[in-house]
């Protein structure tokens, strides 16, 4: 089981898609299109920021806790299902979930009480997770690390209005906080082996050479961990050669 992590717009879903095809594994995707809370959460952020600017220092986003418990519930269900199987990839996991609630609390969008309740719920879920499957953790966590500039370009490319800083300038602070929190999270993560991909350097979506280099990094790591055999590695090298010839 492989889990992906990374900031908004880092390319998690794209890498999950192409990596799933490369490895012949099942892909699990974070719910976005069927998320009824996400659009109103961003609107709630904007309203809360306006109220604070007008002098209401205790204004919060009423949808912050709702959004995070929605995601937490879906991610818990998704990883439980994935951990019962072999050979799958998740485009985000429960392991980085707390980052978002932490930031929302720091920014005043959620209260300390809401954060404490959220953490208690998350800890209870994490304690139950090993009992729900035959795996205790992912075999590999892949993090796509990108700069603020790259993140904004990819957010603009996918065109969700509620994610655009032009539509909501308060997102500038939010995104910078996310970048800092992900750096801290990467330094502390120890639930499984971690592989960091430079998303600024490698355009694994539109550049075939970059994509194959990323595949090689991931497959070499899986081979090193004992998840891929020598025979499988030879097969992947043959696949890559055919890709370049067909280009």
Residues annotated in the binding site for substrate, as ranges? 30, 42, 68, 92, 97, 163
| 161 included as an active-site residue | no
The answer to whether 127 and 178 have CB atoms below 8 angstroms apart is: no
* Residues annotated within a binding site: 6-14, 30, 42, 68, 92, 97, 154-158, 163
Give the 3-state DSSP-derived string for the chain, with helices as H, strands as E and coil as C.
Answer: CEEEEECCCCCHHHHHHHHHHHHCCEEECCCCCCCCCHHHHHHHHHHHHHHHHCCCCCCCCCCHHHHHHHHHHHHHHHHHHHHCCCCEEECCCHHHCHHHHHHHHHCCCCCHHHHHHHHHHHHHHHHHHHHHCCCCCCCEEEEEECCHHHHHHHHHHHCCHHHCCCCCCCHHHHHHHHHHHHHHHHHHCCCCCEEEEECCCCCCCCCHHHHHHHHHHHHHHHHHCCCCCHHHHHHHHHHHHHHHHHC
**Active-site entry in 34, 86, 91, 234:** 91
Active-site residues, by number, are 91
């Amino acid at each position: 089981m492989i889990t992906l992590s990374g900031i908004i717009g880092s390319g998690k879903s794209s890498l999950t898609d192409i990596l799933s095809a490369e490895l012949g594994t099942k892909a699990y995707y974070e719910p976005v299109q069927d998320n009824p809370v996400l659009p109103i959460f961003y609107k709630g952020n904007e309203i809360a920021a306006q109220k604070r600017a007008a002098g209401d220092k205790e204004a919060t986003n009423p949808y912050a806790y709702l959004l995070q418990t929605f995601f937490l519930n879906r991610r818990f269900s998704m990883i439980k299902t994935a951990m019962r199987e072999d050979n799958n990839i998740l485009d985000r996991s429960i392991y980085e979930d707390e980052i978002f609630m932490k930031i929302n609390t720091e920014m005043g969008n959620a209260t300390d009480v809401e954060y404490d309740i959220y953490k208690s719920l998350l800890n209870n879920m994490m304690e139950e997770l090993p009992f729900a499957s035959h795996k205790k953790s992912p075999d590999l966590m892949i993090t796509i690390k990108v700069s603020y500039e790259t993140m904004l370009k990819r957010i603009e490319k996918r065109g969700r209005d509620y994610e655009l800083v032009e539509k909501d300038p308060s997102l500038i602070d939010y995104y910078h906080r996310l970048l800092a929190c992900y750096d801290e999270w990467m330094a502390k993560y120890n639930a499984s082996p971690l592989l960091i991909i430079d998303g600024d350097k490698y355009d694994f979506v539109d550049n075939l050479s970059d994509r194959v280099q990323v595949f090689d990094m991931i497959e070499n790591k899986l081979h090193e961990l004992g998840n891929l055999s020598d025979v499988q590695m030879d097969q992947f090298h043959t696949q890559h050669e055919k890709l370049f010839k067909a280009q």
